[in-house]
Amino acid sequence: MGVKLYKELRLKNPDLIVGWPGIGNIGIVVVDTIREQIQAEEFGEIEAHDFFYPRRVIIKADLLKDLEFPSSKFYYKRFEKKDLIIFIGEEQPTNGGRMYAEGRKAYQMANLVLDVAERFGCQRVYTSGAAVAMVHHTLKPRVWAVPNKEELIDELKRYENTILMSEVEGRGGQGSITGLNGLLLGVAKKRGLAGVCLMGEIPDYLSGAPFPYPRASKSVLEVMSSILRIPIELSKLDNMDARVGEIIESIYEQLPEEIRERLEQRKFVVPTLGAITEDDQKWIKEHIDEFFKKGSKGDERPL
């Protein structure tokens, strides 16, 4: 188990941004959009076979040719003042059927990523993901920012459309960040490395949807772009957002009128925990999830 680096690099005060799949794929869309636009170059990977179950076997003429695993790759890009390292993991290592990483494997993965960050003199790490909130999908998602060091709080307050946990209604500054997006920041803190998690708001009723939520990715990208001082072209995300928006609207129209009316209230009031009851929330989520689950699931073929 370990890291394979394809080349030795000298990088200038780099920051690290990481992306993993998660709710609405908000974080990974952010990081992959940056990677694509700045044309970052791949320079290493974490060996996958000890972390993941393979995802594809290739057999040719009765011979097992290859077994493919979810990738966990490092990229870099040089800039004038500060270079950038990007890490993208196609899956979070889990124990069994859980969606998010936890436990020993997750801790090992977080440490391997940070080993590379420290080896190249990284100054800060940024993770990004979803903030499930009682908001409406037509509103611009805000970005919840959680630093791992107190001295970062003032800086984060300066970014537009960004709020701290203490400013999220009904939270009292408390919360949690599941999976590697959170764990990486914890491990970074343990190592004395500064880190921030940027989470784009996604409506609770869409958090189980099987498609991305680019609207929140766009909000996070805007903030990330300001922080890193890297201009990002957002038109591709806008197109994706328009397509996903149509799907969401068609589903939304099928919700019972009473529920829809209550959700509509979210458009006009500052979100509070009392906007709908917990029972309503559960009902909406269950019924929408049920709606999404109607697609077929293929059985595993034994090869």
Partner 1 sequence: MKDLFELSGQSELRSPSLVVGWSTDAGKLGSKVTDYLNKKLGSRDLGEIEPTDFSPLGGVTIEGNLVRFPESKFYACPQHNLVIFKGDAPSYEWFKFINLILDVAGHYGRVKELYVIGGMVFLGAHTAPRELLAIFNSLELKQALSQYNLGRNMNYQTPPGQRPTLNSFLSWVARRRNIPGVSLWVPIPFYLVAVEDPKAQKKLLEFFDQRFGLQIDFQDIDEEIRKQNERIAQVRDSSPEIDEYISKLESNLMLSEKENEKLVKQMEESLRGKN
**Which residues are near partner 1 by CB under 8 A?**
49-50, 53-64, 67, 94-96, 105, 297-303
Minimum distance, C-beta of residue 61 to partner 1, in the bound complex (Å):
5
Closest CA to 174 of 182, 183, 165: 165
Write down the H helix ranges in 122-213. 153-157, 179-190
Minimum distance, C-beta of residue 107 to partner 1, in the bound complex (Å):
14
Closest CA to 4 of 50, 57, 58, 56: 50
225 CB neighbour count, 10 Å cutoff: 18
Nearest residue (CB) to partner 1, 67 versus 247: 67
* Partners of residue 74 on adjacent β-strands: 44, 87
Cβ atoms of residues 177 and 186 within 8 Å = no
Minimum distance, C-beta of residue 183 to partner 1, in the bound complex (Å):
17
Minimum distance, C-beta of residue 129 to partner 1, in the bound complex (Å):
23
Minimum distance, C-beta of residue 292 to partner 1, in the bound complex (Å):
15
Nearest residue (CB) to partner 1, 56 versus 81: 56
Minimum distance, C-beta of residue 111 to partner 1, in the bound complex (Å):
17
Nearest residue (CB) to partner 1, 192 versus 302: 302
Minimum distance, C-beta of residue 29 to partner 1, in the bound complex (Å):
19
Q: What letters, b where the CB count within 10 A reaches 16 and e where it falls short, cover 111-136?
A: ebbbebbeebebebbbbbbbbbbbbb
Cβ atoms of residues 128 and 144 within 8 Å = no
Cβ atoms of residues 120 and 11 within 8 Å = yes
Nearest residue (CB) to partner 1, 192 versus 298: 298
Nearest residue (CB) to partner 1, 102 versus 201: 102
Nearest residue (CB) to partner 1, 67 versus 153: 67
Cβ atoms of residues 292 and 210 within 8 Å = yes
Nearest residue (CB) to partner 1, 173 versus 302: 302
Nearest-angstrom CA–CA distance, 181 and 129 = 7
- Please report, in angstroms and rounded to a whole number, the separation of the first and last CA atoms in the chain: 26
